[in-house]
Amino acid sequence: IKDDKLLPADLILVVGSDAPENTLSLLAALEQVPAINSDVKSAVRIEKRRWNLHLMDPEKGIKIMLPETDFDLALKRLERQNEKEDLLKKNVDAIDIRLNDRIILHPKKTVSKKKDKKK
């Protein structure tokens, strides 16, 4: 589609075999966390159990792994922690919030250049 006016700017791609019947609850949870919601570009339903969110900006993308249940509470917890520590601005590939007592950051993998040992 070439006409940008046909699609809303905040439209997200939703993928998964049972995504259609689970999307409304995800969207309702995302509305409660505007700082995160504004960056969500896609949501992938994983094994008919839970969601992965993909956040995008021009420089990087971050995957947020949501828990199977109470993902609305997990998103609120992430938003609170993000306000304190700017988690979404850190150099990470993924943020895992599937456990209710911790937030796990997966750093971006960097390719280190081996120093030439020739003298």
What pLDDT is recorded for position 24?
96
Give, in degrees to the nearest 5, the angle at Cα 19 between 93 and 88. Answer: 25
Tokens at residue 102, please? 């911790």
pTM: 0.83
What pLDDT is recorded for position 109?
81
What pLDDT is recorded for position 1?
46
Query: pLDDT category, 56, cuts 50, 70, 90?
Result: confident
- What does the pLDDT look like over 6-42, one tens digit per residue? 666 678 999 999 999 999 999 999 999 999 999 999 9
